[in-house]
Amino acid sequence: MQAISFRALAARGIAATVLGAALCAGASAQSTVARAAPAQSQSGVSPLAAGEYRWTLDDGNGEPPYVLRLYAQPLPSGDVALTGSLLLDDAELGAHGSARLRDGKLVLDLTASGGVMRAPLDDGKRALYPQGKAPARVDSAGFATMRAVLDPATLDGAAQRYQTNVVTGHHVQGPMYANSVMRRKP
User: What is the predicted pLDDT for the residue at 47?
Assistant: 81
Q: What is the pLDDT of the chain when averaged over all its residues?
A: 82
In a domain, 8, yes or no: yes
Q: Indicate whether 28 pLDDT > 90.
A: no
CB 54 within 8 A of CB 183: no
Nearest to 77 by CA among 49, 110, 36, 114: 36
Same domain, 126 and 175: yes
User: What is the predicted pLDDT for the residue at 44?
Assistant: 52
Q: What is the mean pLDDT of residues 7-11?
A: 43
pTM score of the predicted model? 0.71
Most confident region among 3-7, 9-13, 118-122, 137-141 by mean pLDDT: 137-141
Same domain, 26 and 85: no
In a domain, 44, yes or no: no
Tally of domains within the chain: 2
In a domain, 28, yes or no: yes
Same domain, 94 and 19: no
Same domain, 18 and 101: no
Same domain, 16 and 100: no
From residue 78, alpha-carbon distances to 74, 179, 183 in Å are 7, 27, 23
Q: Indicate whether 185 pLDDT > 90.
A: yes
Q: Indicate whether 15 pLDDT > 80.
A: no
Same domain, 59 and 109: yes
In a domain, 125, yes or no: yes
Same domain, 72 and 141: yes
As a whole number of angstroms, the distance between CA 154 and CA 53 comes to 12
In a domain, 39, yes or no: no
Same domain, 8 and 60: no
List pLDDT tens digits, range 84-105. 999 988 789 999 999 999 999 9
Q: What is the mean pLDDT of residues 75-88?
A: 95
SS (H, E, C) the chain: CCCCCHHHHHHHHHHHHHHHHHHHHHHHHHHHCCCCCCCCCCCCCCCCCCEEEEEEEECCCCCCCEEEEEEEEECCCCCEEEEEEEECCCCEEEEEEEEEEECCEEEEEEEEEEEEEEEECCHHHHCCCCCCCCCCEEEEEEEEEEEEEECCCCCCEEEEEEEEEEECCCEEEEEEEEEEEEEEEC
User: What is the predicted pLDDT for the residue at 7?
Assistant: 45
The range of the structural domain enclosing residue 8 comes to 1-33
Same domain, 110 and 81: yes
In a domain, 98, yes or no: yes
In a domain, 83, yes or no: yes
CB 68 within 8 A of CB 181: no
